[in-house]
A and B are shown apart, each in its own frame.
Chain A
Amino acid sequence: MADEQSMEPALRWSDQEAARIIRESYGAVVPGGSTGVADSLYTAEELAPLPAPVREMALGLGNPVRYADPRPGETVLDLGSGGGIDTLLSAVRVGPSGHAIGIDITEAMLEKARGHAAMMGLQNVEFTYGNMESLPLTDKSVDVVISNGVINLSTKKGQVFRECFRVLRPGGRLVFADSVINGCLPKEVLDSEAAYAG
């Protein structure tokens, strides 16, 4: 959509600093018993298979699973899977003959997501460490790539799209929700770790 240069705003953070901010911010998230984010993004029917702890850890910006519409037997990759809500919804949709893979760089989130998968008794899902600029997957190995409010965190967005293209099978689809800005962010916001993480 945009050219590669325009996808790389003048971020203040090095790759290492960006990874640290993400790990510290998301690793510290403690669910407060509210399902407000999940309730604002998903229908009650969509949320029905998910236990409360999964819904309480929703931190996304949209509902990419709805638009990606994973089908039985497909393999779905979720970039920045967090507490696992979209990966788990995908696992339910693709069924036992399909597979859902969540990757994240925050170990605390991976642990939560694995616990959520165990809670649901799902055998067709895995959560693994990996960054979206260098996906730990072979070429042409997935049917669908989804992401929910995560690609904006990358310091190398062009590389993320190249990696998505590499791992997708021909005919595969990338569907993601993310934030966009109308204009430029003020310098004070660009310099804020909290604003970047959010």
Chain B
Amino acid sequence: MEKMGFVRVEVLGEQTTLDKRRLRLYPLFTEEFLDWLFDQFGGESPIYTVHLRGMKPSP
């Protein structure tokens, strides 16, 4: 983001793990798919969600 010109780039709030319990909420995924996915991960999710903010500088 900084390379594109944004300033004051920061992570906001806390990171949250996208674990199986959370992913079950989404209608995009079947239980069978989630079982397969977490088998690939060895049972532990390496995926997190974050919030990021960047500002376009004022002149």
Contacts and interface: CB of A to CB of B under 8 A. Distances in A.
Contacts of B3: 3-4, 158
A73 interface: no
Contact of B1 (A1, A68, A170): A1
Nearest to B54: A174
B46 A181 contact: yes
Looking at chain B's contact residues, the main secondary structure is: mixed
Contacts, number: 117
B5 to A, nearest CB: 5
A162 B29 contact: no
A177 interface: yes
Given A61-B49, A174-B6, A177-B51, A198 B56 contact: no
Contacts of A176: 51-52
Interface residues on B, range: 35 or more
Contacts of B54: 1, 173-174
Contacts of B57: 170-171
Nearest to B25: A36
26 contacts: A3-B3, A4-B3, A25-B28, A59-B28, A61-B49, A67-B13, A170-B59, A171-B56, A171-B58, A172-B55, A173-B53, A174-B1, A174-B53, A174-B54, A174-B56, A175-B12, A175-B51, A177-B49, A178-B49, A180-B48, A180-B50, A182-B47, A189-B37, A189-B41, A194-B29, A195-B37
Interface of B: 1-6, 9, 12-13, 15-16, 18, 22-23, 25-29, 33, 37, 40-41, 46-59
Interface of A: 1, 3-4, 25-26, 29-32, 34, 36-37, 40, 59, 61-64, 67-68, 149, 158, 161-162, 164-165, 168-183, 185-186, 188-189, 192, 194-195, 197-198
